[in-house]
Amino acid sequence: MTLQVNNISRCINRNWIIKDMSFEVSNGECLALLGPSGCGKSTTLRLIAGLDSPNQGSIFIDNTDITNISPVDRNIGMVFQSYALFPHLNVLENLKLGLKVRGNKQTEIEERVNRILSIMQMSHLVKRRPNELSGGQKQRLALARAMLRQPNVYLLDEPMSNLDAQLREELRPELRDFIISGSKPVVYVTHDQQEAMSMSNKIAVMNEGEIQQIGTAKDLYNRPNSLFVASFIGRPQINTLSIKNNVITAIRPEHIYFNSEGLDCKLSHIEWLGNYQLLFIESKYGLIKMMCSAEQERPEKIKISWNKEREHDFDKKTGKRLNNI
Amino acid sequence: MKNRTFILVLSFIIVWSIGPLCWQLYTSFSTPDALINPTIEFTKRWTFDNYKLVLSANPPFWRYLVNSLIVGIISTLITLFIAIPASYSLSKANKIISRISNYYLFGAALFPYVLLFLALLEFARRYNLGNNLLALCIPYSALSMPLAILILTSSFRQIPIEIEEAARIEGLNLIQRLRLILVPLMLPSISSTAILIFLFSWNEYPISLTWISNENLLTLPVAISRIAGSSVYSIPYGAFAAATVVGSIPLLLIVLIFQKQIVSGLMQGAVKG
């Protein structure tokens, strides 16, 4: 199975929510759509699912055009941000409903539901309603419901955002085992770059309805092609300095080091964060963040510098990359 | 202090709503003399005659109950059958359409329907709908429709859109979504709407009075007004009260049956973790 999205656009009330977007996700690959809220990442997912239809462009699964096919016939497994479980049905009925309306045989339904229940370790919960399940159990039920029909493509819309930080970390390997390392294309929407980096093979950074850059996490971090990607990927945020005219020079806090022949600076304050410390340094180019090991000694007179090859130069007007590394 | 005001307000509301009922019950068990003469001895004030009078009338009183039940249930079903799909589509309509239709519906719901009864009478004559209980359901369901649609539209809007979308992805078509997902989720508001519609047709007087003249087909309010002995000169308060008490029993039963649906918080914990 391959999911292909070709030049899709979506427009609501003359606002372009998605502009000319293309990407491809092949079998067993997980593409994360990453971007600030309102950038159109959920809309993209809805277009693939068939809940909305694109104004332009086409969507293919395995070379079949599904652009104008109803969501019923697309055979897509989707996990919603809110899980969207059916609140009046218990776990068993939630799972059976989709198979039943598709006309599967009773014995086959039983068999498939029981298999998924044991994989998800939910067999003891079958009689519970969604409001009697914990956050993690709800998420597993939503995953189970998506997997049950053996869909061609998985779409995950911020599947972790309703869980607390600890549970999220616990459930990540589970989600990876069940869906992401499977043999189907997966599109994973998130606004959490850490989640995107840890769950996916490829990341598409989106802003204002457009894909800014698609690449591996490493690519995006090391070779951002625009100022937006550079400042969106990587925490603490990249330093942006105007050293030359019409050029913004960006340099990551972790690439700055003390150097007695470097730039003259003054220490403003320090955030000590256990495994590292974040130094806020005032220079003639403005405030610079510097990240270094928590044990690092600070010299009396603060002078900093960085390697020229760690520098990213962007055009001040367009935000596009100027230098090549 | 806050607690005491709360209890005070609460007891006022309870007295306010239960008071008339108790009074009615008291009247229905009182002799006619007891109602006008407070000096009568306590033991001589009570009687079952009112109930005997009401229940032994010819045609029997239960016939009116059955008539009203038939009209009530059928007009409720017709209203819901039309109002549920109508409100579903209105809940999906864009802002302008839903605002315009809201104005119309509010206007129609607030319109004093008594003004319509002459026109309706003409309508009944023209199409020969007089003395027909099923025909009576037509104006009843039409008059309850605006309010039913308003209530149901807003409760359709309260169902998180994702639940319906999930159902679409699961492969449910529109009818299946309504039948298996949306209507079960709306049961609380559907049953309270049903009770409102039922109450309207149970209590309705002018249309029933003008459309139905056959003694065997009268609905409860009209039948009560014709109770034996009532005339311009004498009003049998005791018999009226007894008839109203008997007439309220089915209503009480219905509310008791639907109580669970009305109060249940089915939507609780539906989407958010």
- Predicted confidence at residue B229, as pLDDT, reads 63
Sheet holding A202-207, edge to edge: A76-79, A153-157, A186-190, A30-34, A202-207, A210-215
Q: pLDDT, tens digit, for every residue of A25-63?
A: 998 899 999 999 889 999 999 999 999 999 999 999 988
Neighbour tally for B108: CB within 10 Å: 16
- Residue to test with chain A: of B158, B169, B260, most A Cβ within 10 A: B169
Q: Do A87 and B266 touch (CB under 8 A)?
A: yes
- Between B133-158 and B61-92, two packed helices, what is the crossing angle to 10 degrees? 40
- Predicted confidence at residue B262, as pLDDT, reads 64
Q: How far is A105 from chain B, CA to nearest CA, in Å? A: 16
CB-nearest to B168 from A72, A81, A145 is A72
Specify the pTM: 0.81
- In a domain? residue B206: yes
A292 pLDDT higher than 80: yes
- CA–CA separation, A224 and A237 (whole Å): 13
- CA–CA separation, B191 and B180 (whole Å): 16
Instruction: Using an 8 Å CB-CB cutoff, list chain A residues near B95.
Output: none
For residue B269, what pLDDT band results from cuts at 50, 70 and 90? Answer: very low
- Residue to test with chain B: of A45, A80, A147, A158, most B Cβ within 10 A: A80
B271 pLDDT higher than 50: no
- Predicted confidence at residue B176, as pLDDT, reads 94
Q: Do B170 and A101 touch (CB under 8 A)?
A: yes
Span B124-135, average pLDDT = 90
Residues 6+ apart with CB under 8 A from B148: B79, B80, B83, B87, B193, B196, B197
Span A270-298, average pLDDT = 89
For residue A229, what pLDDT band results from cuts at 50, 70 and 90? Answer: very high
- In a domain? residue B54: no
Q: pLDDT, tens digit, for every residue of B141-154?
A: 999 999 999 999 99
B166 pLDDT higher than 70: yes
Q: How far is A52 from chain B, CA to nearest CA, in Å? A: 10
Structure tokens at A46: 């809805």
Q: Which residue of B has its CA nearest to A82?
A: B271
B230 pLDDT higher than 70: no
- In a domain? residue B163: yes
Paired residues of A241 in beta bridges: A249
Q: Do B171 and A135 touch (CB under 8 A)?
A: no
Q: Which residue of B has its CA nearest to A79?
A: B166
- Predicted confidence at residue A34, as pLDDT, reads 94
Identify whether A299 is preceded by a cis peptide bond (ω within 30 of 0): no
CATH of the domain at B119: 1.10.3720.10
B264 pLDDT higher than 60: no
A160 pLDDT higher than 50: yes
- B163 interfacial to chain A (CB closer than 8 Å): yes
Q: pLDDT, tens digit, for every residue of A232-262?
A: 998 889 999 888 888 999 999 999 999 888 8
b/e B36-55 (16+ beta carbons within 10 angstroms → b): eeeeeeeeebebeebbebbe
- Predicted confidence at residue B239, as pLDDT, reads 86
Q: pLDDT, tens digit, for every residue of A306-315?
A: 988 888 999 9
Q: Do B185 and A98 touch (CB under 8 A)?
A: no
Q: Do B167 and A145 touch (CB under 8 A)?
A: no
For residue B48, what pLDDT band results from cuts at 50, 70 and 90? Answer: confident
Neighbour tally for A166: CB within 10 Å: 8
- In a domain? residue B244: no
- Between B78 and A276, residue with greater pLDDT: B78
Q: pLDDT, tens digit, for every residue of A78-121?
A: 999 999 999 999 999 999 999 999 888 999 999 999 999 988 88
Mean pLDDT for all residues in chain A: 90
Sheet holding A247-251, edge to edge: A239-241, A247-251, A312-315
Q: Which residue of A has its CA nearest to B171?
A: A72
CB-nearest to A80 from B162, B171, B184 is B162
- In a domain? residue B85: yes
Query: Do B185 and B163 touch, CB atoms closer than 8 A?
Result: yes
For residue B272, what pLDDT band results from cuts at 50, 70 and 90? Answer: very low
Q: pLDDT, tens digit, for every residue of B179-193?
A: 999 999 988 888 888
Domain containing residue B170: 62-220
Paired residues of A15 in beta bridges: A12
Q: pLDDT, tens digit, for every residue of A208-228?
A: 999 999 999 999 999 999 999
- In a domain? residue B44: no
- B169 interfacial to chain A (CB closer than 8 Å): yes
B199 pLDDT higher than 50: yes
Q: pLDDT, tens digit, for every residue of A175-193?
A: 888 777 788 999 999 998 8
Percent residues over pLDDT 70 in chain B: 93
- Predicted confidence at residue A173, as pLDDT, reads 87
Mean pLDDT for all residues in chain B: 87
- In a domain? residue B232: no
Q: Do A82 and B185 touch (CB under 8 A)?
A: no
DSSP-derived secondary structure letter, B5 = H
Q: Do A84 and B168 touch (CB under 8 A)?
A: no
- Predicted confidence at residue A175, as pLDDT, reads 86
Give how many domains chain B has, as a whole number: 1
B204 pLDDT higher than 90: yes
For residue B228, what pLDDT band results from cuts at 50, 70 and 90? Answer: low
Structure tokens at A177: 């085992």
- In a domain? residue B133: yes
Domains, chain A? 2-222 (3.40.50.300), 241-305 (2.40.50.140)
DSSP string, A66-134: -TTS-HHHH-EEEE-TT----TTS-HHHHHHHHHHHTT--HHHHHHHHHHHHHHTT-GGGTT--GGGS-
B261 pLDDT higher than 80: no
Structure tokens at A228: 């937006």
* Residue of A178, A220, A224, A225 whose CA lies nearest to A196: A220
Span B36-47, average pLDDT = 83
Q: Do A102 and B171 touch (CB under 8 A)?
A: yes
- Predicted confidence at residue B252, as pLDDT, reads 87
- Predicted confidence at residue B13, as pLDDT, reads 94
Span B133-137, average pLDDT = 92
B90 pLDDT higher than 60: yes
- Predicted confidence at residue A325, as pLDDT, reads 55
- B158 interfacial to chain A (CB closer than 8 Å): no
Q: Is the ipTM of this complex over 0.85?
A: no
